[in-house]
């Protein structure tokens, strides 16, 4: 079973990379962009077949390793 995770920076954490990407987009003519925030995306293929159990395990992974909860939020996307 594959489960996806998206990690994003919390709102009040400065994202200098996102800012530079925004500036670059602006320079390329995409001048209607309000803000860009950069994040991370993971695809986790697990042997677990029970979607609830798999999701719980991935949540534990997020808390223990994938995200740093001081600065990041995680969002688990439903198993396919």
Partner 1 sequence: MKSAVITFPGSNCDRDMDVALKKFGFKNKMVWHQDVELPKSDLIVLPGGFSYGDYLRCGSMASKSKIMQSVINFANSGGMIMGICNGFQILVETGLVPGVLLRNKYLEFICKNVFVKINDKNNDYFKNINSNVLELHIAHNEGNYFCTNDQLKEIEDNEQIAINYCNQNGQVEDSFNPNGSIKNIAGIFNKEKNVLGMMPHPERMIDTSLSGEDGSLFLKNLINNLK
Build a one-symbol-per-residue string for 21-60: x at contacts with partner 1 by CB under 8 A, - elsewhere: ----------------------------------------
Number of residues near partner 1 (by CB under 8 A): 10
Give, rounded to a whole angstrom, the gap between the first and last alpha carbons of the chain: 7
Position 68 contacts partner 1 (CB under 8 A): yes
Residue 3 or 66: the one with the smaller Cβ distance to partner 1 is: 66
CB atoms within 10 A of CB 76: 19
């Amino acid at each position: 079973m594959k489960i996806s995770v998206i990690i994003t920076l919390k709102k009040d954490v400065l994202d200098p990379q996102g800012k530079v990407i925004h500036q670059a987009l602006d320079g390329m003519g995409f001048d209607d962009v309000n803000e860009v925030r950069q994040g991370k995306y993971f695809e986790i293929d697990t042997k677990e077949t029970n979607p609830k159990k798999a999701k719980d395990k991935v949540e534990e992974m997020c808390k223990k390793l994938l995200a740093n909860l001081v600065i990041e939020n995680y969002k688990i996307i439903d198993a396919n």
